[in-house]
């Protein structure tokens, strides 16, 4: 119906004559109802996707539709990663295979400062984008937990004594991500303040 009406208007090429046609208003009203129904169903579909992966709430409908439409290819999706993951600007994507059999795996997070975090497990990209994005969230947590643990084992003994050689301190700063350095410094500060307060209470 819509196509036939558009073809008729295109052939008429006169605005008044093309619109003043018996039953045309009813046609427009019917089309408007169909568009409203389509919009309602689309919103329900997008809400379902957002329920499955809440970080989709940070995206507009247009961005989310683009992501869903290209779910098997993560490369176009990368431009939206920063909206869903604060501090993450890009992903390292590995292509596997060729042609129609090509698949993708993600194994690294990259910040805008070019800091990188290697994931403990590679994320296989499939058609359900909300699932592999959720897997990134899970593996991101595991990767950061591992890095915090390694940092603590390697450096917190020296931190407890309050002694860091300058060269070692600079090496620690170069080798670790800013998030880890800031968080561990805050933990150390909190520990030292707590110990000072306990000692003050004991001696007072």
**Model pLDDT for residues 161-171, shown as the tens digit of each residue:** 555 567 777 87
Give the closest residue to 78 by CA, choosing from 108, 34, 52, 54.
108
The label of the residue with tokens 């290209």 reads 70
Same structural domain for residues 35 and 76? no
What was the pLDDT predicted at 50?
95
- The pLDDT confidence band at residue 53, using thresholds 50, 70 and 90, is very high
Across residues 173-185, what is the average pLDDT? 83
What would the pLDDT profile of 19-31 be if each residue is shown by its tens digit?
Answer: 677 777 787 788 8
Domains identified in the chain, total number: 2
> Does residue 186 carry a pLDDT above 80?
yes
Same structural domain for residues 35 and 125? no
Same structural domain for residues 60 and 41? no
The number of residues making up the chain comes to 204
> Does residue 67 carry a pLDDT above 80?
yes
Q: What is the CATH number of the domain that holds 127?
A: 3.20.180.20
Distances (CA, A) of 4 to 24, 27, 161: 12, 11, 82
Please give the share of the chain, as a percent, with pLDDT higher than 70: 88
Same structural domain for residues 36 and 72? no
Same structural domain for residues 46 and 69? no
> Does residue 64 carry a pLDDT above 80?
yes
Across residues 70-79, what is the average pLDDT? 87
Same structural domain for residues 20 and 57? no
SS3 94: strand
Range of the domain at 16: 2-51
- The pLDDT confidence band at residue 52, using thresholds 50, 70 and 90, is very high
What was the pLDDT predicted at 121?
92
> Does residue 178 carry a pLDDT above 70?
yes
Instruction: Report the range out of 72-76, 120-124, 149-153 with the highest average pLDDT.
Output: 120-124
Gap between the Cα atoms of 180 and 178, Å rounded: 5
More confident residue, 203 or 145: 145
Task: Give the domain-ending residue among 29, 51, 73.
Answer: 51
Same structural domain for residues 28 and 81? no
What was the pLDDT predicted at 161?
53
What was the pLDDT predicted at 2?
62
Please give the share of the chain, as a percent, with pLDDT higher than 90: 37
Across residues 118-126, what is the average pLDDT? 91
Average pLDDT score, the chain = 84
> Does residue 158 carry a pLDDT above 70?
no
Same structural domain for residues 191 and 130? yes
Gap between the Cα atoms of 33 and 29, Å rounded: 6
Same structural domain for residues 18 and 101? no
What Rg, from alpha-carbon coordinates, does the chain have? 28
Same structural domain for residues 88 and 175? yes
Task: Give the domain-ending residue among 51, 66, 92.
Answer: 51
Same structural domain for residues 94 and 42? no
Same structural domain for residues 81 and 17? no
């Amino acid at each position: 119906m819509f196509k036939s009406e558009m073809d008729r208007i295109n052939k008429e090429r006169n605005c008044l004559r093309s619109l003043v046609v018996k039953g045309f208003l009813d046609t427009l009203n019917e089309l408007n109802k169909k568009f409203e129904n389509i919009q309602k169903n689309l919103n329900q579909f997008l809400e379902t996707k957002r329920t499955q992966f809440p970080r989709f709430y940070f995206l507009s409908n247009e961005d989310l539709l683009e992501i869903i439409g290209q779910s098997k290819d993560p490369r176009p999706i990368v431009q939206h990663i920063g909206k869903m993951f604060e501090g993450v600007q890009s992903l390292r994507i590995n292509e596997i295979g060729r042609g129609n059999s090509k698949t993708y795996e993600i194994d690294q997070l990259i910040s805008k400062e070019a800091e990188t975090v290697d994931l403990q497990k590679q994320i296989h990209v499939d058609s359900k984008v909300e699932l592999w994005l959720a897997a990134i969230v899970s593996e991101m947590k595991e990767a950061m937990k591992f890095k915090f643990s390694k940092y603590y084992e390697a450096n917190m003994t020296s931190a407890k004594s309050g002694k860091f050689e300058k060269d070692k301190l600079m090496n620690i700063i170069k080798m670790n991500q800013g998030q880890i350095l800031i968080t561990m410094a805050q933990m150390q500060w909190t520990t030292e303040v707590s110990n000072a307060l306990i000692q003050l209470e004991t001696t007072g």
